[in-house]
Amino acid sequence: MTSPIKYHIGLVIYPGMTQLDATGPYQVFAVMPHTKVYLLWKTLDLVTSAEGLTILPTKTFSDCPPLDVLCIPGGAIGQVEMMQDAEVLAFLQQQGTTAKFITSVCTGSLILAAAGLLQGYRAACHWAFRDQLKMFGVEVGTERVVVDRNRITGGGVTAGIDFGLVLASKLCGEETAKMIQLMLEYNPAPPFDAGSPENAGEALVQKVQDFGKQLIEASFVATQQAAMQGQS
Per the CB < 8 A criterion, the answer to whether 8 and 67 are in contact is yes
Buried residues in 155-185 as b, exposed as e (16+ CB within 10 A): bbbbbbbbbbbbbbbbbbeeebbeebbeeee
> CA-based angle 208:109:117, to the nearest 5?
160
Of 136, 143, 127, 147, nearest to 205 (Cα)? 127
Residue 125 annotated among the catalytic residues of the structure: no
Candidate list 64, 71, 106, 172, residue with the active-site label: 106
The residues near 204 (Cβ < 8 Å, ≥ 6 apart) are: 194
Q: Where are the beta strands (DSSP E) in the chain?
A: 7-12, 35-41, 47-48, 54-55, 59-60, 69-72, 101-105, 122-123, 139-140, 145-148, 151-154
Per the CB < 8 A criterion, the answer to whether 11 and 26 are in contact is yes
Phi, psi of 116 (to 5 degrees): 80, 25
Q: Which residues are the active-site residues? A: 106
